[in-house]
Amino acid sequence: MSATLLPEDLPLDAHRRTHSAATKRYGFFPGCVAKESCRELFNSTMLLAERLNIELIELTAASCCGASVINDVNRDVARVLNARTYAQAEALGLDDVITICSTCTGHMRAANKELRDSEGLMDHANAILRKFGAKYEGTVTVRHLLWLLIDDIGLDALRSMVVRPLNGLKVAPFYGCHIIRPESVNGWESARRPHSLEDLIEAIGGEPVDYAGKTRCCGFHIQLEKENVAADMVGQNMRMAADHGAEAVITPCPLCHLALDGYQADSAARWGRTDLPTFHLPQLVAFALGVPADKLGLNKHLIDPRNVLVERDLIA
């Protein structure tokens, strides 16, 4: 079994103290789903940023990261699309691009790693960027908001900002594959035994639930491939979470959110009912930091998260 990366082997990049972190002005790439079916994710992120006193500067001309699927048609296009995005960040004087989607994180970090590790690939990308006067110098780091919360803000500071602690709400973390694997691309924490979401849940007053499915795939990318596979990929994980006492789920990935929120109803036939509402990471953190619940788009979820909040006396 390959050993997990030791701390000194982690790519310096993942925990780098960026200029953005020092100035609290970050590049922000919301991704496509946060602008389409999961607008509540985008909105709660901006509200959370306000609370944290950080500026998220949206890269409005950035394209889709490729969503990992585009690698199936061409081996270069994702790298060049993301090089364009990083060039835009650099042009704005930013060295940090924050994402709110696990898939974007893994995919963009992989592209960035290829560009920075290989002069040939960087030159190849820049040759195309040159056609419209852009250039990527290799100075950008891509990080998920989760990492910003823990590295830049810090769990202690977050704890002190909590005005609405979760009253021991049992929350199951669901990481989303692409924010942890492969370790050679992400490497911010152990992919086999991550605990950042658990630490965060505790810091905002919840009780984290440990279960084997927390690092397993939600099946989003294969939902339409074959009948039942979407429901089964969700069911096999949510069954474990429910059996370990979870009342809700938190995830840093809107694609996982769509899968877990959308397919638990169908998974009941084979896996039994679970009905676990799935919070977006910024939603639940913003809630604990006092952002009014009605601004967080909780009413948009298919499995209504307001029920568990009422049960725990967190909202009326």
DSSP string, 247-316: SEEEES-HHHHHHHHHHHHHHHHHH------EEEHHHHHHHHTT--GGGTTGGG-SS-THHHHHHTTS--
Per-residue binder mask for other proteins (CB under 8 A), 120-139, x = binder? --------x--xx-x-----
Does 212 participate in binding other proteins (rule CB under 8 A)? Answer: yes
Pairing of strands 207-208, 170-173: parallel
* Nearest to other proteins of 8, 72 (CB atom): 72
Q: Which of 39, 29, 87, 34 is nearest to 59 (CA)?
A: 29
Options 295, 300, 306, 312; binder of other proteins; rule CB under 8 A: 300
* Nearest to other proteins of 206, 262 (CB atom): 262
Sheet strand arrangement including 248-251: 207-208, 170-173, 248-251, 278-280
The values of phi and psi at residue 207, to 5°, are -115, 115
Instruction: List, in order, residues 6 or more apart from 117 with CB less than 8 Å away.
Output: none
Does 229 participate in binding other proteins (rule CB under 8 A)? Answer: yes
Does 177 participate in binding other proteins (rule CB under 8 A)? Answer: yes
Query: Where does this chain touch other proteins (CB under 8 A) — which range of 11-19, 163-171, 176-184, 194-202?
Result: 176-184
* Nearest to other proteins of 220, 279 (CB atom): 220
Per-residue binder mask for other proteins (CB under 8 A), 95-124, x = binder? -----------x------------------
Options 10, 64, 153, 315; binder of other proteins; rule CB under 8 A: 64
Does 12 participate in binding other proteins (rule CB under 8 A)? Answer: no
Does 316 participate in binding other proteins (rule CB under 8 A)? Answer: no
Q: Which of 105, 182, 197 is nearest to 142 (CA)?
A: 105
Cis peptide preceding 182, ω within 30 of 0: yes
Does 61 participate in binding other proteins (rule CB under 8 A)? Answer: yes
Per-residue binder mask for other proteins (CB under 8 A), 234-273, x = binder? --x-------------------------xx-xx-------
Options 113, 221, 239, 280; binder of other proteins; rule CB under 8 A: 221
Q: Which of 85, 93, 288 is nearest to 201 (CA)?
A: 288
d(CA 313, CA 316) in angstroms, rounded, equals: 7
Tokens of 169: 């709400």
In one letter, which amino acid is 261? D
Positions that interact with other proteins (CB under 8 A)? 1-3, 32-33, 35-38, 60-64, 66-77, 80-81, 84, 106, 128, 131-132, 134, 177-178, 181-184, 192, 212, 216-217, 219-222, 224-227, 229, 232-233, 236, 262-263, 265-266, 299-302
